[in-house]
Amino acid sequence: MSEFTRFLRQARQKIDDLSHHRKIRKAIATYDSKVEEMKQTQFRNWEQARKNAQEIKNYVLNSLPQLLQKFEQNISARGVTVMWAETAAEARQYFLQIAREHRAKKIIKSKSMTTEEISFNEMCEQQGLEVWESDLGELIVQLAGEKPYHIVTPAMHKSTAEISQLFHEKLGSPLTDSAAELTMVARQHLRQAYITADIGVTGANFLLAEEGAVLLTENEGNGRLTMACPPVHVVIAGIEKIIPGLADLALFLPLLATSGTGQQITCYNSIIRGPRQQLETDGPKKMYVILLDNGRSQLYGDPHFREILRCIRCGACLNACPVFRLAGGHTYHTPYQGPLGSVLTPHLRGWAEWYHLPYASSLCAACSFVCPVHIELHRLLLENRWQAYRKGYVGLIWKVALKGWAFIFARRSRLDLVARPLRRWGGHFTWLVPAGKRKRIPALPRKSFKELWLKNEQ
C-alpha cells in the first residue's frame, strides 16, 4: 500500500474514532491553557521574544559552518569524538562501529526524534542489540509496539487505563488508575537498565558552539541517568541544533518550555561538556557526538526552505493543527508529524512516497501563528505543494483542474461566465462532491459579491 493510500485510510478511521478525539482534545486543551498562561506570566512581550529567537536562529543559519566547526573544536578538546554523518545510513553505521568497539549488547536511550529519524531502534533489533527507551512516554509506545504519536508527548493518545493495562501485561504490575503509581512501575523497571547498559544514547536540544557542550532538557531525569550511568555516551543530533553559546539559553530554554509543555522551565537541564575527566569520579568514560545531516544541507542551500532549520522541535505547530488533531500523529507514519512533518518529510525521505503530506493541511496558518521561532509553516507547505506539482507527483485530474482554475481566475469576465450558471444550477450537483459525515455543502448565494456591490453602488 502506498503511503498516500495509508494516510487516507488511517485518517478516515481516526476521524470516526470518538474516543481518540476525546483523548486528544483533553490533552491539547490542558496544554493550551498552560501555554497561554505561561506566555502572559513568563514573558513581558511574547512577540518580541519570538522575534529575538528568530534573529538568533537566522544568525546561526548565516554562520552555520563556522559554528559547527567551533563546536567540534571545543568539544573535541575535552576528549569527545565527533563524527559527521551525511545520511541516516551513515549515522547508523557510525553507531554500530562504536557498539562493536565497546562490545556493547545493551543500550539505553532517552527521547530523541533524531534517533527516530534514522530508525535507530529497528537497526539495534536487527543487529541483536537490546535497546530500552528511558523516557516514560517512549517506553509506553515501545512496550505497545508503536511509534511515537507526537514529537514532544509520544504517548499522548493513551489514557491512564490503557497504560495501566499495558504495564500489567508487559511488566506484570497490578492494575491502577494512579499516574504516580504507573510512573513508579516504569522507574523500577528502568533503574536496572541504567546500571546494566553498555551505552547510553541521547539526542541534544541544543549544541553550544562557544562552550563545546551538549544541552539536554527534560522533565523526568531519565536523560541525565542515560548519559551518566553507562560507560559510553553517544549523542545523535541534527546539525541545526547548534546555537552560539550559553548566553542564548536564557531565551531558548524558557521559550522551548513554554511552547513545548506550557512550563516555566523544564525540570532537568544538563550541560554536557565531555566524558569523565581526570580526578572526576563519575560520568561516562567515553563520549561520541554524531552530527547528522540527512538532507539538512539541501534545505540549507534552498532559500525557500532554509527557515525550517530554525525549528527547535517544540511541537506547538502539531497541537495547533486541525488536521493533526483529527487525523492523529500515527496517520503521518513519519518521525515528525503535523505541519513540521509535512514540510520536512518529503525533503528528508524523498518525494515519491511523501509528496502527499503538504496537502494534509487546511492552510489556516495556525501553525505559523504559534511557532516560537516565527517559521512560516503554511507558506512552506504551499511551497512544497508547488514542488510536488513541478516534480510531477500530482495526478492528471488535478493538473487539468488546476490549469482550468488558473485559466478561469485569470480574468474577471471568465469567472463571471462560469459563476453565473454555477450559482443558478450548482445546487443541483452538490451530490457530485463527496460530503463528509459531519459536513454539508452550503448552497451557493444567488448573487456574487460583485453584483451586490454594483447594486448597492447604484
Chain positions contacting ligand SF4, by CB under 6 A: 259, 311-317, 340, 370-373, 375, 377
CB of 292 to ligand SF4, least distance (A): 17
CB of 371 to ligand SF4, least distance (A): 3
CB of 343 to ligand SF4, least distance (A): 8
CB of 311 to ligand SF4, least distance (A): 3
- Residue 74 vs 337, nearer CB to ligand SF4: 337
* Secondary structure (3-state) at 290: strand
- Residue 137 vs 372, nearer CB to ligand SF4: 372
Rounded Cα gap, residues 50 and 55, in angstroms = 9
- Residue 75 vs 316, nearer CB to ligand SF4: 316
| Cβ atoms 291, 237 nearer than 8 A | yes
Question: Grid coordinates 534573529 are at which residue?
Answer: 55
The 3-state secondary structure of 222-286 reads HHHHHHHCCCEEEEEEEHHHEECCHHHHHHHHHHHHHHHHCCCCCCEEEEECCCCCCCCCCCCCE
CB of 240 to ligand SF4, least distance (A): 10
Rounded Cα gap, residues 364 and 150, in angstroms = 20
| Cβ atoms 340, 317 nearer than 8 A | yes
- Residue 85 vs 377, nearer CB to ligand SF4: 377
- Residue 143 vs 312, nearer CB to ligand SF4: 312
CB of 289 to ligand SF4, least distance (A): 22
CB of 314 to ligand SF4, least distance (A): 4
- Residue 230 vs 338, nearer CB to ligand SF4: 338
Q: Which one, of 319, 316, 26, lies nearest residue 159 by Cα?
A: 26
CB of 345 to ligand SF4, least distance (A): 13
Q: Which one, of 139, 284, 269, lies nearest residue 204 by Cα?
A: 269
214 Cβ contact partners less than 8 Å away, ≥ 6 residues apart: 75, 202, 204, 206, 207, 208, 235, 237, 271, 272, 273, 289
CB of 49 to ligand SF4, least distance (A): 13
Beta strand extents in 14-168 (DSSP E only):
80-85, 106-109, 130-133
- Three cell numbers at 182? 504507573
User: What is the phi-psi region of residue 274: left when phi exceeds 0, alpha when psi lies from -120 to 50, beta otherwise?
Assistant: left
- Residue 186 vs 377, nearer CB to ligand SF4: 377
- Residue 124 vs 308, nearer CB to ligand SF4: 308
- Residue 203 vs 315, nearer CB to ligand SF4: 315
CB of 401 to ligand SF4, least distance (A): 30
Distances (CA, A) of 198 to 85, 102, 109, 145, 229: 22, 8, 11, 23, 9
Work out whether the CA dihedral 147, 213, 95, 82 comes out positive or negative.
Answer: positive
- Residue 83 vs 348, nearer CB to ligand SF4: 348
Rounded to 5 degrees, φ, ψ at 283 are 100, 165
CA dihedral 105, 106, 112, 118 (to 10 degrees): 20
Distances (CA, A) of 320 to 88, 316, 324, 371, 445: 29, 6, 8, 10, 32
CB of 381 to ligand SF4, least distance (A): 11
Rounded Cα gap, residues 251 and 236, in angstroms = 24
Distances (CA, A) of 78 to 71, 287, 290: 11, 10, 16
- Residue 272 vs 373, nearer CB to ligand SF4: 373
